[in-house]
Amino acid sequence: MLYTGSERFWNLHSRNKPEGFYSPEFRSLLTSMLALDPTQRLSVAEIKAHPWYNGPVATEEEIQAEMSGRKAQMEGAAERARQAKEARLNAAPGRFGV
């Protein structure tokens, strides 16, 4: 299959992301900003007028809730890893025959 530069870029960057991770508006904006031909790139005024640029913005409370959830997930994963390591060490025979 023959891809354009932007299709290949988005295929590569979307590999490990859930479907729809990058919205069509975001993809449009970024692709237009990174156009190889400088005459095709968006101006600052065009960027500011773009639908994605003017789209909804998360509130401070939404951001704090998201980050708190992520922190809890990371702490939980770290604790599970610590417990698994401890269980492996406790189950292993003593080092050096001790």
Token pair listed for 15? 């590999």
Residues 23, 28: Cα–Cα separation, whole Å: 9
Compute CA distances 54 → 32, 51, 88, whole Å: 16, 5, 52
Query: Residues 47, 29: contact at Cβ < 8 Å?
Result: yes
Torsion of CA 68, 74, 79, 82, to 10 degrees: -160
- List, for residues 56-65, the tens digit of each pLDDT value: 999 999 999 9
Residue extents of the structural domains in the chain: 1-56, 61-92
> Half-sphere exposure of 68 toward its Cβ, with a 13 Å CA cutoff?
6
- The model carries a pTM of 0.59
Quick: pLDDT tens for 38-87: 999 999 999 999 999 999 999 999 999 999 999 999 999 999 999 999 99
Alpha-carbon gap, residue 88 to 78, rounded angstroms: 15
> Can you give the pLDDT at residue 97?
52
